[in-house]
Structure 1
């Protein structure tokens, strides 16, 4: 019943005014009660809602009905008592009766419709609440499982670290036992660090604080930093690792090398974790043709591991998820690796796809867009001509890839897959007076390894043929044996055009020893004076001990203010570099750096300042550079990275000083 209907009744009704007022009040009350019922339904169960309707809503229906009954009864009585008047005004009475009848019918229909709508709305909201409750319970269970798993995961390496430290302390006279303990402590520390990094990365991703840094980088350097470690891990586990590089259109690209490195490591680490001994892991990397100075880096990681069920594939990239508790306990991990990989891939504008079958292994494919620098596509000039080269590798893909790279340099190469066959090829070429100039020989082959092949060639032909060992492993352990056998140089897998050309150029020009030593040697920091600002006593002790290995001289400051005072009161040229912690009492690293840069000291603008801090995110690195620092190293300290970075910064500072003196 609408307000207009009540106004008509009010106009036509001849009975007491209070009857119409009661009807109007009853209708207003009914509308208000129905509105409150809809709001009440949001936070209550179906049983509570029904009880509310019985107590708060339906009584208003009764009151409306009673008010209408009163009006209709009065009208009927009036009609009976005024029969003559009814005859005179039959049309008016009929219309009034029809209005009343239609009003009752309309009210009934409206009430029923409103009630059905309310019930449907309540049912829908109840269904939504049930879905939300189920999802919340699922998320809660996943996070509960995650916290339980993390507690176990963190305590396990911590237990090893504490236990092995105790054992080492009790066996100080047993160097072999101490070395074993330290090895296990190092392994557990790295595992613990990877767990912490996963949690921190996921936290940054969920907060939207991960940024992308686009800058030029070289693919060979990225792969050279990853592949040897993967070979080492797979070898220790008894799995086979293969790495294939094809269709490289530009070795220098523009993108976020740090994030790409993280994606690749996550995929390979995941494959290693879930591939048992005797299995195979294969990394294939290639680029799409350049179009408008853009290409795509395609990374494919295949394994013959335990695989995943079809049902779990839908949850693979959900944080905190693992297929089942048994696997998580057996293989360890946070359950965040794939979620991080998915988010980082999306952040870089790429895509990731996975195919897997339970018990048959998995294949992950990542496509990442990259920009190509303008000068990267310029034609290269090679000075290697008329060389006869033999490639020896049991992997046919490596042989064909090396041959294609050599062809770009204008060299047609032969290749074989067995060491014994290589010795025969070299012998036949010598007997035909057309010796090979260079042999590229894989280190690890099934029938005869590269060092043994080298010995055989040297025994038969002497030193005329130059030999380069191809290896994805760290060859430092076999370097002495290889040199003794007659190896001239080494080149790392996967093969890139630039690294292969450099290796060939070095042996042809007979300066391979000098070049290799310059790459592998420890930075020479002997006699350099370093100012170390570090408030934590243990961290300070660690840094001092590491730096002492370089024969550098170290002065220490316990906070930023002390570091500023030591620097500003020192003579010009006294310090070669400052290593600055960030979070320190009295004065932090950023503020200390700004004070140093704005001071009147002769070296204020030139002294290299390197952040050495536990603040490890990209934003922290950017803030360090913005404060006036020259670089950033995250704790825990990577010794080789520390030596290399310090050496490089000092070298740059020395170069700038020399240029100024010449001017």
Structure 2
């Protein structure tokens, strides 16, 4: 102490953590005041202590806040609310030039803020930032909560950056921590997210609107063929003795039925594709045969409108491929029929098939379809492959389109690993280019045998017909009995099982089995028949008849033990051929 006093240090301060009777730690400041007692000339010390727990905690909090902000924020300042001054803790780019510094090194907050806003802040954000950081507003806001923050823009030449200010209160010390941070990455990410959300919302709204419009059109388009069928039935009743008139009515009813079935199939297919239920086959097929079968149908449509079709094949080395021939045919049919449908009278269509590459067991094919039709507007081109969209209201009535064909086609092509590109100009035409990879059928097996035009004979065969719908039962009974077969009827799977089980072995030559039935469906009935302890249970041909013509339905039929799968509405020749092929395969080529 004497040394301190002689050195001119008359006050010694120590800060320590102490525990009192309540066992609560407190921070105390102890001060020893050195002085000479004039009565005895002795050096004496006056000791007193002050509890500084609260102020020390405030200081430590402030230091912690400043350290945190300094590590993350670009600029950090201390704002003294009582003195209305600003002290610089950290600043990457000086802003104090031209400002008068006070004795303690601080600056006038008002002048500092005005200079910062004028020189750095975007003109559109200056009034806002000046208002929220005005001293009285800072006091008002910081009184209600520990901190507040906001965003503003900084203009640097032609560049615009996003910044965030943050104001933090330090208890009741009257000192405010003020930080500024560049948040370009955060704001740009938010802007991107908002843009994505808006695009998703727009897409959802367009899809919803398109579905609403589609359902409105479909309600009309479905009624049209139904009304036609009902009307023709009334006409047929009236002319029941006129053979020619009856034939005409049947033809019109058949056309209307096919149109209605096409509408329903497209809706079902779209639902299957959207839910991922469509399964692609991997079977051998001949691409040339499929293309020719499509052209045979399309050329008749084109002739009616005097449209010229030209075609050529370039560099095709592999016609025998492995894939999904049903869907390949559908893709071709959709594009080429659209080229006819949306073409002008005396228009032209150019078709080209090109094998563009071969690697290992895979060949990539490019199909081009160019027409001189009505084309598409730029606006509609952006939504061409969206479900339920059409450029024209009432397009089905005029062009025969549901607005689902292109969506289905694109989904199928994508599932096959391919892609579709196109170019179109309003009133001049459209060119589609479809690229699809296929596995090469190295053994050159044919996928499908050409159907014989002659009707196969099933005369004398004994057939068990299982069907729960009276109309369908009547149709199939007519087809088979008219071909000379003997028919035994069962109205559900359970009844069919009982009839077969009670029959003599070898009594039936084949079973025509509906799939969806009450009591017991066709799958379960087939499985139970196959498990019966008799020879013919394992060998009798069982043919599925169902409205579900998807690949997965065929697989389910095979798994149940069925030999063949025929889609409804039933085609007479296909039914007879299926039965004949299974019962007498030597009679069918």
TM class by shorter-chain length?
Answer: 0.5 to 0.7
Contact 1:19 1:67 in 2 (8 A): no
1:645 aligned residue: 578
1:253 aligned residue: 321
Q: Deviations over 1:589-633 (max 9, x none)?
A: 011101111112221111111110112221111000001111111
Contact 1:568 1:601 in 2 (8 A): no
Using the TM superposition, give the Cα deviation of residue 291 of structure 1 relative to its aligned residue in structure 2, in angstroms.
3.8
CA–CA distance in 2 between the matches of 1:182 and 1:243?
36
1:340 aligned residue: 408
Using the TM superposition, give the Cα deviation of residue 59 of structure 1 relative to its aligned residue in structure 2, in angstroms.
10
2:389 aligned residue: 321
Contact 1:580 1:612 in 2 (8 A): yes
Query: Structure 1 residues 61 and 564, CA, compared in 2 at 3 Å: closer, same or farther?
Result: farther
Using the TM superposition, give the Cα deviation of residue 16 of structure 1 relative to its aligned residue in structure 2, in angstroms.
10
1:659 aligned residue: none
Matched, 1:628 2:561: yes
Query: Structure 1 residues 565 and 334, CA, compared in 2 at 3 Å: closer, same or farther?
Result: same
SS of residue in 1 equivalent to 2:561: coil
Matched, 1:156 2:233: no
CA–CA distance in 2 between the matches of 1:586 and 1:653?
37
Using the TM superposition, give the Cα deviation of residue 115 of structure 1 relative to its aligned residue in structure 2, in angstroms.
13
2:18 aligned residue: none
2:458 aligned residue: 525
2:304 aligned residue: 236
Contact 1:607 1:653 in 2 (8 A): no
Matched, 1:142 2:210: yes
2:15 aligned residue: none
More strand by share: 2
1:203 aligned residue: 271
1:189 aligned residue: 257
Matched, 1:285 2:363: no
CA–CA distance in 1 between the matches of 2:403 and 2:319?
34
SS of residue in 2 equivalent to 1:603: helix
Q: Deviations over 1:354-406 (max 9, x none)?
A: 122111222222122122233339xxxxxxxxxxxxxxxxxxxxxxxxxxxxx
Contact 2:543 2:564 in 1 (8 A): yes
Query: Structure 1 residues 296 and 116, CA, compared in 2 at 3 Å: closer, same or farther?
Result: closer
1:62 aligned residue: 140
CA–CA distance in 2 between the matches of 1:290 and 1:612?
40
1:608 aligned residue: 541
Q: Deviations over 1:255-307 (max 9, x none)?
A: 11111111111112222221233223343334346442322233222222111
Using the TM superposition, give the Cα deviation of residue 234 of structure 1 relative to its aligned residue in structure 2, in angstroms.
2.3
After the TM superposition, which residues 88-107 of structure 1 pair with which residues of structure 2 at under 5 Å, given as runs? 106-107=176-177
Q: Deviations over 1:562-584 (max 9, x none)?
A: 11122222233322211111111
CA–CA distance in 1 between the matches of 2:356 and 2:195?
49
Equivalent in 496, 510, 513 of residue 563 of structure 1 = 496
Contact 2:463 2:511 in 1 (8 A): yes
1:405 aligned residue: none
SS of residue in 2 equivalent to 1:211: coil
Query: Structure 1 residues 559 and 187, CA, compared in 2 at 3 Å: closer, same or farther?
Result: same
Using the TM superposition, give the Cα deviation of residue 241 of structure 1 relative to its aligned residue in structure 2, in angstroms.
3.5
Matched, 1:582 2:482: no
Unaligned runs of 5+ in 2: 1-25, 30-49, 66-127, 147-168
Q: Deviations over 1:135-154 (max 9, x none)?
A: 44323212211211221221
CA–CA distance in 2 between the matches of 1:368 and 1:100?
68
Contact 2:217 2:394 in 1 (8 A): no
1:269 aligned residue: 337
TM-score by length of 2: 0.67
CA–CA distance in 1 between the matches of 2:514 and 2:145?
83
1:396 aligned residue: none
Query: Structure 1 residues 221 and 59, CA, compared in 2 at 3 Å: closer, same or farther?
Result: same
SS of residue in 2 equivalent to 1:355: strand
Q: Deviations over 1:459-486 (max 9, x none)?
A: xxxxxxxxxxxxxxxxxxxxxxxxxxxx
Contact 1:608 1:653 in 2 (8 A): no
CA–CA distance in 1 between the matches of 2:259 and 2:145?
79
Equivalent in 471, 491, 504 of residue 538 of structure 1 = 471
Matched, 1:298 2:366: yes
Q: Deviations over 1:70-111 (max 9, x none)?
A: xxxxxxxxxxxxxxxxxxxxxxxxxxxxx989975643x24x
Contact 2:279 2:550 in 1 (8 A): no
TM-score by length of 1: 0.60
Using the TM superposition, give the Cα deviation of residue 651 of structure 1 relative to its aligned residue in structure 2, in angstroms.
2.6
Using the TM superposition, give the Cα deviation of residue 322 of structure 1 relative to its aligned residue in structure 2, in angstroms.
1.3
1:429 aligned residue: none
After the TM superposition, which residues 392-411 of structure 1 pair with which residues of structure 2 at under 5 Å, given as runs? none
Matched, 1:553 2:506: no
Q: Deviations over 1:618-663 (max 9, x none)?
A: 11110000011111111111223222222222234999xxxxxxxx
Using the TM superposition, give the Cα deviation of residue 522 of structure 1 relative to its aligned residue in structure 2, in angstroms.
0.8
SS of residue in 1 equivalent to 2:417: coil
CA–CA distance in 1 between the matches of 2:394 and 2:544?
42
CA–CA distance in 2 between the matches of 1:176 and 1:610?
36
Query: Structure 1 residues 11 and 176, CA, compared in 2 at 3 Å: closer, same or farther?
Result: farther
Query: Structure 1 residues 233 and 61, CA, compared in 2 at 3 Å: closer, same or farther?
Result: farther
CA–CA distance in 1 between the matches of 2:145 and 2:367?
79
CA–CA distance in 2 between the matches of 1:10 and 1:653?
107
Query: Structure 1 residues 243 and 161, CA, compared in 2 at 3 Å: closer, same or farther?
Result: farther
Using the TM superposition, give the Cα deviation of residue 65 of structure 1 relative to its aligned residue in structure 2, in angstroms.
3.9
Contact 2:207 2:387 in 1 (8 A): no
2:425 aligned residue: 357
CA–CA distance in 1 between the matches of 2:139 and 2:204?
39
